[in-house]
Chains A and B, each alone.
Chain A
């Protein structure tokens, strides 16, 4: 198949698959899948900028996603004034000590040549900052965590609408990426992967265990929404009218008034769920389009050409006077910021922040699969990868159960082998993912929608 045709065919197939889910399961399920597909696609674009255009293997996707989620909480949750009153000062002082000691460490590290003096100074700074932080930090977090621990027990956030957090998440993730990039980007590619994988675990450890900041594994739920609530919709006049008008013929067919009313109620409940999901899908889709448009614009500019030149031949680009490290840092920050946006969107969609749910498999390696199978170096490919892999990831479970049922078809109901096969069906999705990746790497190393070689 010619390469120009691949993208339309791939997306048509995807649309058909989603429509099949809509018809066979329900439109509500299909829409939930679509929403997560869009978020996955955004993450995949972020990774694709770093890998496909920059040649950087960032295995810390999970960390940036979690940072985005944390930002969503910190922006949208109401501030807990009591906690700020009682312990805010302590937290601020410890933050200042922390920043000061890091600055001092950096200063000593850069400016003092004598090794002995440098090492003693470093140890002194560490000891002093530990003592200082311990004196302010420990007591303050005890106070914060003791204030209404069942409901809050943390500092809360800014109380702004959650949609702002999408933008702020980009800034936060970008800043963290700047720090991480400074540390790791001088390393060779597979070191970078290991280092970023490790750093993302540190990020998760912090959000999981610093209860004063994120409530840790107690989760933050009930975040506000950028879209209406179902219950509000069900009570509002215009929505009832809308549902009535759409389902006019169905309602007319009803014989009695009471059964008509029952059907209307059911329809209203169903459609309110679908309407909310559609609102989310609209919002997410506009973000996806915007990010896609901007990255296409950037990558077709001279800046994008320079990035590809660096990716394809670092030495040559360096000889042409390009600063490799600075360019890598730029693309690393931009990609991570995009992942951060997706992380905030995910938390917005869930309405809750659950640090325990961040696992590297789900949030790092699956995203990588999307980029590689979709086609690294092609944003359209990443979008397709995001849709396709997420779809498989979700639909693998019912399919595996069906497959296992088929395998165990001849066995009796309580046969141990049958029980085992059905019980392990859920693990088949990992197998499918691994197989897809290996097959793609072997037979389609450039992905479903490969990068366009630009000749000029």
Chain B
């Protein structure tokens, strides 16, 4: 009996904390990676990044609708996965267009990072307008295919436990796709010539130029990689929850928080930061009452909800962590670029 209580507690925790945090963390990690790549190579904090995420997701939704209307689906997988490559192409092209028409001017002038940041605020406004203009400001769900891998009810019946475990297919897809994306990115950065020249450029621009690295090529590759990552992150997030431009805009701060917590400019740091933020958001706002009810004997059962912070503050947790990190260790977990 004791054992069962323990397993129930673990299942409960996995269902409400570990699985959701893992999938949200993967989405956040991908998004933060794209922010970090821009920061590392182009040297500015891109305030428009969350809106690139909206834009990429919007493009995916439009392609999904197109495919659905001509009868192409991915069977048990969501159609959005088929649409994703096309959306990435559109997003990358639009990114490059904006870069040519807006950012490249300031790059040539060697403007300060803060100026580029203010410019990105302008781009942010324009992107928000474009997304809202094309698809509207409302909530959209674009998930199709098989919804669950493990359903709570089946799980309960199968194992004879009191607690059920639900794993949505989107959660598994998220983790797998995120892993593939991260591994290929790290492979690209560490092993390929282009990736190495990108890192060299990020590390010391003048030295890289002297060794014959073509800066324009690096800039293009950076925007393309950033669009791949951000569109994928946005689509995974949208499949898991739903797509709404304002919600996506609100992801900007968790993204920045993750980048700084992990160590700004460091790709590994971005991944770690993404998971740290996601896990803290969920673990700190989860009410552990039931969990302790399984673990503790009856007379010790907690009376309150056993919640560190109310769910109202879920959104603020990432900034609280951000502030703490800025005070305690401003370079982040993995030592990033020197501030």
Contact = CB atoms under 8 A, between A and B. Distances in A.
A188 B331 CA distance: 12
Given A188-B339, A430-B128, A424 B133 contact: yes
Q: Please give me the 5 A-B residue pairs with the lowest Cβ-Cβ distance, nearest first.
A: A434-B125, A198-B319, A431-B129, A434-B126, A209-B312
A434 B128 CA distance: 9
A187 B129 contact: no
Contacts of B132: 424, 427, 430
B129 A427 contact: yes
A85 to B, nearest CB: 25
Interface string A133-177: 010001000000000000000000000000000000000000000
Interface string B257-278: 1001000100000000000000
Interface string B33-71: 000000000001100000000000000000000000000
B315 A199 contact: no
Interface in A250-272: none
Interface stretch (B12-20, B113-121, B204-212, B232-240): B113-121
A197 B118 contact: no
A353 interface: no
A318 interface: no
A208 B312 contact: yes
A110 to B, nearest CB: 12
Interface in B106-124: 112-115, 117-119, 121-124
A206 B132 CA distance: 29
A201 B253 contact: yes
Nearest to A184: B326
Given A184-B326, A189-B113, A190-B44, A428 B312 contact: no
Interface in B249-305: 253, 256-257, 260, 264, 304
Contact of A438 (B126, B136, B137): B126
A205 B326 contact: no
Which of B318, B319, B327 has most A Cβ within 10 Å? B319
Nearest to B246: A359
A199 B260 CA distance: 14
Contacts of A431: 125-126, 129-130, 133
A16 interface: no
Nearest to A210: B312
A188 B264 CA distance: 12
B122 A205 contact: no
B288 to A, nearest CB: 13
Given A193-B45, A194-B45, A430-B126, A372 B316 contact: no
Nearest to B131: A427
B337 to A, nearest CB: 10
Contacts of A424: 132-133, 136
Which of B102, B127, B323 has most A Cβ within 10 Å? B323
B179 interface: no
A405 to B, nearest CB: 16
A89 interface: no
21 contacts: A194-B260, A194-B322, A195-B326, A202-B319, A205-B313, A205-B316, A361-B125, A365-B121, A423-B136, A424-B133, A427-B137, A429-B129, A434-B122, A434-B124, A434-B125, A437-B118, A438-B102, A438-B122, A441-B115, A441-B119, A442-B105
B133 A190 contact: no
A394 interface: no
A57 interface: yes
Contacts of A197: 253, 256
B114 A428 contact: no
A431 B137 CA distance: 14
A191 B121 contact: no
B310 interface: yes
Contact of B257 (A134, A198, A209): A198
Contacts of B115: 441
B308 interface: yes
Nearest to B252: A197
A430 B125 contact: yes
A57 B114 contact: yes
A401 interface: no
A190 B119 contact: no
Contact of B316 (A183, A191, A202, A441): A202
A433 interface: yes
A80 interface: no
Contact of A433 (B125, B257, B327, B339): B125
Contacts of A433: 125
Contact of A189 (B114, B256, B315, B316): B114
Contacts of B257: 198
Given A191-B326, A431-B130, 10 more contacts: A193-B45, A193-B117, A194-B322, A365-B121, A427-B129, A434-B122, A435-B126, A438-B102, A438-B119, A442-B105
B164 interface: no
A134 B327 CA distance: 26
Nearest to B328: A109
Which of A190, A365, A368 has most B Cβ within 10 Å? A190
Interface in A390-433: 423-424, 427-431, 433
B312 A441 contact: no
Which of B129, B308, B322 has most A Cβ within 10 Å? B129
Contacts of B319: 198-199, 201-202
Nearest to A180: B323
Contacts of A442: 105
A365 B124 CA distance: 10
A423 B138 CA distance: 12
Contacts of A287: none
Contact of B312 (A57, A198, A205, A372): A205
Nearest to A190: B45
Interface in B203-225: none
A130 interface: yes
Contacts of A434: 122-129
B176 to A, nearest CB: 31
Contacts of B339: 187-188, 191
Contacts of B119: 438, 441
B304 A134 contact: yes
B253 A438 contact: no
Contacts of A188: 339
B97 interface: no
B315 A205 contact: yes
Nearest to B320: A202
A354 to B, nearest CB: 17
B256 A198 contact: yes
B321 to A, nearest CB: 9
Contact of B323 (A183, A427, A429): A183
Contacts of B123: 434, 438
Interface in B126-155: 126-130, 132-133, 136-137
B25 interface: no
A117 to B, nearest CB: 16
A187 B330 contact: yes
Contact of B313 (A183, A191, A209): A209
A195 B261 CA distance: 12
